[in-house]
């Protein structure tokens, strides 16, 4: 080896090579989920480390600091804050449709509160995470060396469930990003069974065939998904058919009567909307006179679920107030749908015609116009409920 040698290179070529290496590192090893198990590297390492620690469902909880230290020392030599944040998010039932970590303690709230310090919280694997790791000891997946070549870690998890579809994902890489909404596990399994039953005719299965099974996104915070746009276009089918689009999601609001007084009650909010910021925004609009007819505003949310009460004046028109709320506040929000994922050293953007499995929507013929508000309806203002069944404090799907 000759020391002191200066090699001249074209700066254009060097920048191109270095930037491409950096971009691929971010895309494959940090920001985008793997389409095979739906996990980013840090999430996969956390689940595998918990599996190695014996933190299976039913086992005693272990301090989060112990888990984070295990991940840092063996598989993920980065900041402890990033690892703990990723683990806390997998324990939040308002972030993941099916949480993969069973947390004990304060792991944050829908109001934007941060999780407690890792020395205070405890965690173990959630039951559904056991299905992600099932049979990993039977050489079902490839193992690769860890960062210092002293241990081996799985390249992907066996993933007996379609995690990328049921929990969704979001991330920003270099030159690309991904935004995948969560879906209902039962509906996704029904669609997969249909594909397997018709495997010989897979190329003939189109968007409309899968729309009969998957009823659209199933957000953990509920809300109402609007399938049709103002122009009458099928927004859900277009978004899932082309791999790019915008899904309109609105809060679920009902009208209640009390002693001749009317009130609007928000029981579900769009995905990733901060409830505390939402209440502050409504109060600001009412204070500035931009939202007329509001006499009082209360956040009565508790462990049973979300309940934001908007008291109306006797002369107020509930429909007009609600329309202004949707126009000026996060209850009328949009979810950008842009599915992209990594597969080994490749990236993929699902397309309806090329890969039907990731599609979603509301069944053909099940399109209903927005219903007018009525006392005690218990329904939102749109055709498709996106709530999550089966968990305390969360709204249930009624479709």
Q: Where is 122: in which H helix or E strand?
A: strand 122-125
> How confident is the model at residue 162, as a pLDDT?
94
Round to whole Å and give the CA distance between 137 and 128. Answer: 18
> How confident is the model at residue 367, as a pLDDT?
32
Domains (range + CATH), the chain: 39-158 (3.90.199.10), 251-335 (3.30.1360.40)
- Angle (CA) 194-197-198 rounded to 5° is 85
**Which residue, 31, 75, 34, is CA-closest to 345?**
34
Round to whole Å and give the CA distance between 383 and 360. Answer: 15
Q: How many residues does the chain have?
A: 399
Helix (H, G, I), strand (E, B) or coil at 27: helix
Average pLDDT over residues 264-282: 94
CB 372 within 8 A of CB 323: no
Task: Kindly give, in sequence order, each residue whose CB lies less than 8 Å from that of residue 101, ignoring residues fewer than 6 positions away.
Answer: 46, 47, 50, 87, 90, 91, 123, 124, 125, 126, 129
- In this predicted structure, the answer to whether residue 150 has a pLDDT above a threshold of 50 is yes
**Three-state secondary structure of 267-319:** EECCCCCCHHHHHHHHHHHHHCCCCCCEEEEEECCECCECCEEEEECCCCCHH
| Residue 364 pLDDT grade (very low, low, confident, very high; cuts 50, 70, 90) | very low
> How confident is the model at residue 2, as a pLDDT?
60
User: How many C-beta atoms lie closer than 10 Å to residue 266's C-beta?
Assistant: 24
- Which residues are registered as beta bridge partners of 253? 266
| Residue 387 pLDDT grade (very low, low, confident, very high; cuts 50, 70, 90) | very low
How far apart, in Å, are the Cα atoms of 34 and each of 29, 31, 179, 183?
9, 10, 13, 17
Q: Decide which of 118 and 229 is more confident.
A: 118
Q: Which tens digit of pLDDT belongs to each residue from 323-334?
A: 999 888 876 677
> How confident is the model at residue 134, as a pLDDT?
94
> How confident is the model at residue 344, as a pLDDT?
57
Q: Which tens digit of pLDDT belongs to each residue from 177-235?
A: 888 999 999 999 999 999 999 999 988 988 888 888 998 899 999 999 888 776 778 88
> How confident is the model at residue 371, as a pLDDT?
38
Could you say which of 22, 61, 84, 120 is catalytic? 120
- In this predicted structure, the answer to whether residue 362 has a pLDDT above a threshold of 80 is no
CB 68 within 8 A of CB 91: no
| Residue 377 pLDDT grade (very low, low, confident, very high; cuts 50, 70, 90) | very low
Alpha helices in the chain (DSSP H): 11-26, 41-52, 64-74, 80-89, 127-132, 163-167, 185-197, 207-211, 235-242, 275-287, 318-328
CB 24 within 8 A of CB 175: no
Is 120 designated active site? yes
- Angle (CA) 328-332-336 rounded to 5° is 120
144 burial type by CB count under 10 A (0-12 exposed, 13-18 middle, 19+ buried): exposed
Question: Where do we find the tokens 């055709």?
Answer: 383
- CA 289, chain centre distance (Å): 35
| Residue 236 pLDDT grade (very low, low, confident, very high; cuts 50, 70, 90) | confident
Average pLDDT over residues 41-49: 96
How far apart, in Å, are the Cα atoms of 323 and each of 144, 317, 330, 332, 381?
55, 10, 12, 9, 10
User: What pTM did the predictor assign?
Assistant: 0.81
**Which residue, 83, 84, 121, is CA-closest to 103?**
121
| Residue 342 pLDDT grade (very low, low, confident, very high; cuts 50, 70, 90) | low
Q: Which tens digit of pLDDT belongs to each residue from 47-74?
A: 999 999 999 999 999 999 999 999 999 9
Percent of residues, the chain, with pLDDT higher than 70: 83
186 burial type by CB count under 10 A (0-12 exposed, 13-18 middle, 19+ buried): middle
Mean pLDDT for the chain overall:
83
- In this predicted structure, the answer to whether residue 388 has a pLDDT above a threshold of 80 is no
CB 329 within 8 A of CB 316: no
Round to whole Å and give the CA distance between 201 and 223. Answer: 36
Task: Kindly give, in sequence order, each residue whose CB lies less than 8 Å from that of residue 287, ignoring residues fewer than 6 positions away.
Answer: none
């Amino acid at each position: 080896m000759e020391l002191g040698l200066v090699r001249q290179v074209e700066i254009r070529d060097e920048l191109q090579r270095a930037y491409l290496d950096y971009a691929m590192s971010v895309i494959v090893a940090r920001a985008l989920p793997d389409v095979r198990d739906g996990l980013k590297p840090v999430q996969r390492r956390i689940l595998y480390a918990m599996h190695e620690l014996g933190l299976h469902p039913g086992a005693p909880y272990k301090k989060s600091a112990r888990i984070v230290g295990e991940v840092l020392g063996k598989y993920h030599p980065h900041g402890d804050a990033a690892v703990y944040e990723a683990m806390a998010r997998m324990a939040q039932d308002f972030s993941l449709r099916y949480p993969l970590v069973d947390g004990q303690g304060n792991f944050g709230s829908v109001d934007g509160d941060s999780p407690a310090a890792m020395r205070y919280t405890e965690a173990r694997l959630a039951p559904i995470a056991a299905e992600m790791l099932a049979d990993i000891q039977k050489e079902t997946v490839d193992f690769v060396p860890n960062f210092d070549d002293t241990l081996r870690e799985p390249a992907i998890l066996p993933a007996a469930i379609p995690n990328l579809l049921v929990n969704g994902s979001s991330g920003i890489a270099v030159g690309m990003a991904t935004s995948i909404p969560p879906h209902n596990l039962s509906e996704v399994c029904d669609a997969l069974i249909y594909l397997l039953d018709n495997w010989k005719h897979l190329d003939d299965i189109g968007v409309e065939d899968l729309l009969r099974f998957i009823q659209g996104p199933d957000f953990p915070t509920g809300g109402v998904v609007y399938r049709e746009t103002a122009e009458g276009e099928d927004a859900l089918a277009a978004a899932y058919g082309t791999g790019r689009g915008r899904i309109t999601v609105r809060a679920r609001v009902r009208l209640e009567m009390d002693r001749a007084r009317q009130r609007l009650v928000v029981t579900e909010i769009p995905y990733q909307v901060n409830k505390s910021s939402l209440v502050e925004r409504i109060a600001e609009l009412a204070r500035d006179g931009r939202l007329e007819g509001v006499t009082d505003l209360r956040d009565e949310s508790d462990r049973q679920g979300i309940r934001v009460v908007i008291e109306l004046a006797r002369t107020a028109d509930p429909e007009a107030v609600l329309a202004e709320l949707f126009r000026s506040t996060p209850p009328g929000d949009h979810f950008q749908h842009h599915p992209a994922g990594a597969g080994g050293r490749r990236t993929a953007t699902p397309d309806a015609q090329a890969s039907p499995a990731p599609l979603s929507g509301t069944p053909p013929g099940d399109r209903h116009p927005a219903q007018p508000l009525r006392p005690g309806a218990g329904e939102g203002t749109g055709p498709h409920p996106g709530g999550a069944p089966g968990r305390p404090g969360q709204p249930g799907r009624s479709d």
